Structures are given as C-alpha cells and as structure tokens.
Structure 1
Amino acid sequence: MKILIINKSAHSGGAAVAANRLYTSLKDIEADVGMLVEEPVNKNVDISTICHKRIDKKKAFNRFIKERLYFLPYEKNKTVRFSFSPAVAGIDISQHPMVQEADIIHLHWINHGFLSLKNLDQLFRLKKPVVWTMHDMWPFTGGCHYANTCNHYIDTCGHCPFLRWSNSCDLSSKIHEKKYNIWNQANIHAVSCSKWLGSLAQESSLLRRKKIYSIPNPIDTNVFAPMNMDECRKEMGLPLNRKLLLFGAANISDPRKGARYLMEALHILDIRYPELSDKIELIIFGKSKDIDFNKYPYKVHSLNYIDGTEQMVKLYNCADAFVLPSLQDNLPNTVMEAQSCGIPVVSFRVGGVPEMIENKKNGFLTTMKDSDGLALGIYEALFNTDPKAVKENARNFVLSNYSNKLIANKYMNLYKSLL
C-alpha cells in the first residue's frame, strides 16, 4: 500500500507542520509513504516538490498572484484578503508519477495557487481513495477558511460576510455549487483533527453525505519535551527571575489570533495586581507587523521568527505559561507543543481547544472574548497553582493522546479500511 501525502508546503504554516509530522510518524512505523509539496524544500529533506527549477518557482508565485488578484475585486476589505480562497489557480498533478503510483492520496492544505477546483477534480477522477485532513473549514465552505459566526455553509453559502457584494448568488454561492458538483462524485474520506471541526463538517451540505473521521495531529514527544528552564533562558537571553508568558503564531497580526484580547487581559491584570508589574514579562514570536508592543503593560521580548524546531522547544521551556487568545482554531500545534514541553496553556474555550485543555488541571479556559477571564487564567497559571502538578498533567495528556506512533497507527487503520 503506497500512501502519498500532499500539502502546499513542507515547512510553512500549521498544516505543513502537521503533514510533515504525520509523514515522519508513518515512516517510523515503516509505512510505504511519500510526500509531495509545491514549495521548494531543503536539500537534506526527503520530501518531493514540483518546484525543481527557477522557472517552476516563478510559475508557482504567478499562480499565487493570480489567485489573489482574482479575489481582489470581491474582497470586503484587506483584512479578509487571505481568509477566502476561490481556488481558481493551480497546477495539474494528477499525472505526476508519485500520484499515479499511490494507492491512497492524502490531501492536507492545498490553497493559495497550489490546487484549483479543476485540479482537485482531476485528482478525484483517478478514482483512488482520497483522505483529506481538514486543517480549517475550507473543504466544506464556499471559500472561507474560518466562517466565524456565519453558518451559510450548512445550506448553499451566499450572503458571504467576506465579500464586498454579498447576495444569494455571490462568489461564495458559485464556488459552493462547483464544489458540490465535484465533491459529490469524489471518493473523499474527510478527517477532522478536532471533534469540533468534524461536527461542523458533518452538518455542512458539502460533506454531510461523507463519513467524517476524527484523528488528531501527531507530535514527537521525544523532541518536544521538558528541559531545564534556567539553562534555556540563559541560552535565549531571557531573565531568570521573572514570570514569562509566551504568545505566538505564524501571524499574530491576524485578528483571529486575538492579540487585542491578550492586551486587554494584561491591562486588567496590571490594574488588579500592580505589585506584579516588575515580575511578569511577555515573550512574543511570529509575524507582528501591526502590533505596537509599547501598548502592553509589561516588558515585551519580540523574537519574530523562530528558526528551527530546536529553538522553538527551548523557547517553550523558557515559559511559565503559554497563552492562546484565538477567536477560532482547530487543533492548534502551539497548544500541543507547549503541553508536550510541560507548559500549561491559557485559552478561550473555542474550536478544538477544549478537547486539549481540562480547565484547572492541565491549563485554563475561559469564555471567548472574556478578557477578564483570560486575565484570571494567566494569573492562576503564573502565581496560584501547583506548577509541578499542572506541568505533569499537560505532558501526560499529550503522551496519552497525540504521540507519533499512536496517530500513525490510527491513520494506517483508516488507509487499510479504504482498500
């Protein structure tokens, strides 16, 4: 049985991290698995790419630009520019040798000019079983990656809040109709990383006739593991005598990541406990173009992009707690990584996060957009709990639910059932 994992990138973004980890996990149990991506890969990585030459990279960039330019006249404003993918640009990979040889095609994240709707149809027409791990809502919406409070995907989409001209026959409705016609004939087996996303997919008109499987992302618990905090802080140039709160994502400027609510929570914390002003510091990583760190009440260490897994593991181990103020999320890698390092997580009760955090046992949860509750959770995590017990609970939860071998075997059982 040959398995082929397909994702836009091998390295960039949460879906790429998850797909790459699954690829490694399957190899570790000696599965016959390959991975094909669009973006260039490092020479020392055994992942295949369709971009071998400079001209290939240029064509890939042009596809991305075509996709964005197509959506530009439709977008409500620039804040939603990357929140909606029309999937009009892409490349046909149906005749690629790895695709032709595969018994199972396993899709992950394929947007931003990699695979168009036409290209997906070309893959589906091969009549091979297609496993599709959903990292957001795009596989069952009329174009958006996260629908927020909109539930039009349950029926036919239309009246899309992301569009400048929104009506019953708008772009989202047309894309939804195209997807319906393609999906209806396809041998798709959808996998949700979280039960939350699976429940949304199951009620959608695009996937309600398909079986939805729930399998979380894997993580290498030998790599993401507890380390000596003081040694990590010395190496990263961070203070030894402060409570350090960690926050980060690929793009923390994205409103969905909730930086606004973290700032509000920290101001509440500062007003409520002014004596802690010189005891707390904040570490932020990720793209932060529109974030003014001077508005935070505590000292901020802005690390921007973290280079490599080893540095990321050390950074987690510098923190006393990790905060995730996201307004919508599937099964965040950052939560899993922090927990695997024995770091408690403070978060809103959104998406798949409550499946990862048991309140006051291995982390802290509060109602979405409740900045006061977030402030309380941060205080509890930093000052008012048994740190050893919470750290052990966080680590043990990951070991029991997300380890590489456990998840790889779940996928192997699924693959075998489809042949």
Structure 2
Amino acid sequence: MTRVLHLSTYGAKSGAGVAALRLLEAERSYGLDAELLLMAPSSESLPAVHTLGNDRRLYRAWQCKLWSERALVALLNGFNREQTFKTSLGRLGISIHALRPYLANIDILHLHWTQHAFLSLRTIEELCKLGLPVVITLHDYWWAQGIEQMATKPGELSAPLRRLDRRVRQRKAELMAHYPIHLVTVSSSLGNAVTRSSIVPRLGVSTIGNVLSAHYYQQAQMQETRATSERELYRIIFVATRLDDPIKGWSYLVDAMRQLAQLAGVQTAQMQLTLVGTLANHELLNQIPLPVQHLGSISDVAWLSSLYAESSVLISTSERESFGQTLLESLACGTPVIARDSGGPADIVIDGVNGALVAHDAPQAMAAALWKHFTGATDYQPEACRASALRFAPTDIAQQYAQLYAQLIDDIQRAKP
C-alpha cells in the first residue's frame, strides 16, 4: 500500500487547506495510506491529520518566523500593506527535525500550500535529499515565480524585493533541476501559466482538479432540487472567505449588480443577492442596488448546501481563481454558475450546460447573463449541473493521483544504480 504524507500550512481555514483535506479523505477511501501534516493549529479530528501548531513550542517558533518574514517584506516594500501577505520569501521555516517523526516509511511526499514560514526552500531541499518522489500541488503561481504568490503589477514590488525575487527564482530553478519534484496544477489555466515559466521543467507538470468533497458528492447524486420557476425570489448567491478581498472582485460584483438593476427595473424586487463570507466594512453593502442578505461566514456544511440548493444561481467575480471550490459545490447541489473568466472556472463551467463564463473585464456581460437566466431565455437543468460536478468525484481524482504516485515511484526505482 502506497504511503503518502501530505503537508500544508493551513487546514480548513484556507482554500488550499480545504483542498488538501478533501484529497486526503478521497485517497484514504481509495485505499492509499495517506496522512496530512498541518502547521497552523487546527481542530480537525480526523485520525490521519496531525498538527504541529498544537505543540506550543513549535507554534511559538513558527509564529516568530512567520511575523519576522512579514515584517521584512513590509520593511523592504515601504510598508505597503497590499503586498505584505501576497509574497512568500521561502527563507524561513520549521526545521526538518520537527518533521522527522512523520517521515518514517513514507513512499511519497506531497506538498500543498506550504508558504508562510512552514517549509523554507532549504527545508524542502533537505526533504528532497531523502530520495523520495516529491509532488507539489500548486494552488497559486508561487512555484513558477520568485516571491510572488500571484502576479503583481509593475511598481507594486520595490527594487529590494525585486532583487530578492530574482534570487528566490534562481533557487527554485536549481531545486527543480536537481531533484525529482513533480508539479500538479489544479486547473488548465494555471497549468498553462506554470509551463510558460522559465524555471519549471516542461516534463514535470500535470493538471489534476481539486476533489469534490464526499458531502457534495453525495449531494450531487440526489435528485431533489426545486425548479427555479417555483422560487418566490431569484436568489443570487456569492460565497467567499472574505467578500471584500480585492482578488474576489468586489468592484466587479457591484458593477454587475448595478447593470442588472438597470436591466430589471422594478423587477429587482423579485431578486435577492445572498452573501456568504466575512466583510470588513458593512457599509459596502449599500453599494448593492438589489435586496441583500449577508449571512457572514458559514462553517455548517449542511446549511451551506441548503443555501446552494435554494439559490437560483451562484456567481463568481474573482480577479484570479486557480480553481473554484464554491463553483463545484454549487453545481453539486444542482445550482448553475455564472462566473467571470478568471482562470480555474474555465475547467468547471460548461457554457450553456451548467452556466456561463463571461468576459473578465465586462461586468455588463455578467449582468446580461443573469438577466437572460432570470427571464428564462437560458435554462440550466439541475441534472446537468450535478453531472458536471461528478467529473471531480473523489474516486476519480484519487485514482489520478494514485497513478501519478505509482509512476513517480517507478521512475525513482529505475533511476537507482
């Protein structure tokens, strides 16, 4: 039985952490001996999940390194808060000695999002020296760039950070050239961007989507979803961890809702925008010209599932999206998706079947797509939505990873003298 150790800085409080937890569950159900090691404190009760941050000494050491790195980024970038948490230097991390109790008899090391002072590039090199295949699932662009997790605009990084960026880029290129590191991107768009990078080996990249969770997989197999015409309101749902995160496209959302209100006129009274997630400034709700329901953050999966199922459509307005977990969840509940063309959604949305993909820089296109759906000019069947979500079924994704693991282990064995 293949033994896999997954590593992630965060657990269920981050998108990458959620993806890692769902993959862990899928792999264990598939028959792999998989475990997950988290850095940040977590309340996960699964026996296969281990948390370094629950050890007070390790937690304090990690926090010290995390905030030291953030302070250095802030100092070098003129205290520009916008970039403080959008870069990772890869210089500080937990010692490999803290990891050794979890490394015995492992066949595969599988890294997820391990930035923010969990695994430094030096520690990753020490892990590579163990002689095991190393798989890294990319949830952003960090491994294809230097210090940036997402591409920044000219002038957003200072000259000192740009110099550091070049050094980190060179260090990553050396690692990937000398060790059996295999990169997995969670979407085709992310894969295309990564393979254009000068530091990534062309033959060491695969694309495997994120796992539809067991709960939503079961939801997708259910046949009970109310038809849109039976609803009193046309319910538009928008879900994000932090609604006003610039990456989630709040201004695009507002513009699209204003355009929709102009199209609908008095019929806006028949519409409702439901927002799920935290919002730092509640006055932003006044920018929405439709009736708004803000429910805050929801951790209850059953409640969130019922909200998806009771909604007419889910929208995604992200500036950049590596995959799109909420899109998959909504489709599993039989609810179509209208998404901004921002990367990952292109792998999930089948235009005209389970929703629509609209132009990245045209919020009016999203408004038009919503208006067509509201008026019945377009119709997306719940059965088609659920069937599209099943493309990311746990067994299918686990099987793809199992095949990849087997190939990488075989490659290592063949390379031995």
TM-score normalised per structure 2: 0.89
Q: Hey, what's the Cα distance between the residues in 2 that align with 1:337 and 1:164?
A: 39
- Counterpart CA distance in 1 for 2:223 and 2:271 is 21
Percent sequence identity is 25
Tell me how far 1:313 sits from its aligned partner.
1.4
User: Is 1:255–2:246 an aligned residue pair?
Assistant: yes
Counterpart residue number, 1:108? 112
1:223 CA displacement = 4.2
Deviation, 1:229, is 6.3
**Distance (Å, rounded) in 2 between the aligned partners of 1:91 and 1:177:** 22
Aligned to 1:26: 27
User: What's the TM-score, normalizing by structure 1?
Assistant: 0.89
Q: Deviations over 1:232-264 (max 9, x none)?
A: xxxxxxxx6211111121122221211111111
Specify the SS of the correspondent of 1:72.
Answer: helix
| 1:333-354 deviations in Å (ceiling 9; x for gaps) | 1111111111111111221211
Does structure 1 residue 10 correspond to structure 2 residue 11?
A: yes
| Equivalent residue number for residue 153 of structure 1 | none
Pairing 1:222–2:217 present: yes
Question: Kindly tell me: are residues 59 and 405 of structure 1, through their superposed partners in 2, closer, same or farther at Cα, counting changes over 3 Å?
Answer: same
Residue matched to 1:68: 70
Structure 1: distance between partners of 2:263 and 2:54: 57
For the Cα contact (< 8 Å) 2:217–2:393, is it kept in 1? no
Q: Deviations over 1:288-330 (max 9, x none)?
A: 2146101110121112211232222122122111000112111
The partner residue of 1:198 within 191, 202, 219 is 191
1:234 aligned residue: none
Structure 2: 5+ residue stretches without partners = 410-417
Task: Decide whether the 8 Å contact of 1:350 with 1:368 is kept in 2.
Answer: yes
For 1:12-161, what aligned pairs fall within 5 Å after superposition?
12-42=13-43, 44-46=45-47, 47-75=49-77, 77-93=80-96, 95-147=99-151, 161=155
Letter in 2 for 1:83: K
Residue of 350, 362, 379 corresponding to 2:342:
350
Question: Are the equivalent residues in 2 in contact too, given 1:346–1:381 (CA < 8 A)?
Answer: no
**What corresponds to 1:284 in structure 2?**
275
Tell me, in whole angstroms, the C-alpha distance in 2 between the residues paired with 1:24 and 1:43: 12
> Deviation string for 1:42-75 (max 9, x for gaps)?
2632211112333333333222212211110233
Equivalent position SS for 1:9? coil
2:406 aligns with one of 413, 416, 419: 416
Conserved 8 A contact 2:321-2:343: yes
Q: Find runs of 4+ consecutive structure 1 residues off by over 6 angstroms.
A: none
CA drift at 1:210? 4.1
Query: Is this contact kept in 2: 1:190–1:210, CA < 8 A?
Result: no
Question: Unaligned 5+ residue runs, structure 1?
Answer: 151-159, 231-239
**1:323 and 1:43 mapped to 2: Cα distance?**
29
Amino acid at match of 2:22: R
| SS of residue in 1 equivalent to 2:323 | coil
Are residues 122 and 209 of structure 1, via their aligned partners in 2, closer, same or farther at CA, if it must alter by over 3 Å?
same
Given the superposition, is the C-alpha separation of residues 122 and 385 from structure 1 closer, same or farther in structure 2, using an over 3 Å criterion? Answer: farther
CA distance in 2 between partners of 1:256 and 1:6 (Å): 25
Name the amino acid aligned to 1:32.
Answer: D
The answer (yes or no) to whether the contact 2:177–2:201 under 8 Å persists in 1 is no
1:375 and 2:392 equivalent?
no
- Taking structure 1 as reference, are residues 275 and 414 closer, same or farther at Cα in structure 2, changes over 3 Å only? same
For 1:331 and 1:371, how far apart are their aligned partners in 2?
20
Does residue 173 (structure 1) correspond to residue 166 (structure 2)? The answer is yes
Which position in structure 2 is the counterpart of 1:155?
A: none
Mapped partners of 1:88, 1:290: distance in 2: 34
Point out the structure with the larger helix share.
2
Q: What is the alpha-carbon distance in structure 2 between the residues aligned to residue 116 and residue 227 of structure 1?
A: 47
d(CA) in 2 for partners of 1:299, 1:64: 41
Please identify, of 86-95 and 303-312, the stretch whose mean Cα deviation from structure 2 is larger.
86-95
Going from structure 1 to structure 2, the CA distance change for 1:206 and 1:290 (only over 3 Å counts) comes to farther
Letter in 2 for 1:352: G
Aligned residue for 1:313? 305
The root-mean-square deviation of aligned C-alpha atoms, in Å, is 2.2
- 1:164 and 2:177 matched: no
Answer yes or no: is the 8 Å Cα contact 1:93–1:99 preserved in 2: no
1:76-98 deviation per Cα after TM superposition (whole angstroms, max 9, x unaligned): 63222221111222102365222
The answer as to 2:305 corresponding to 1:304 is no
SS of the equivalent of 1:101 reads coil
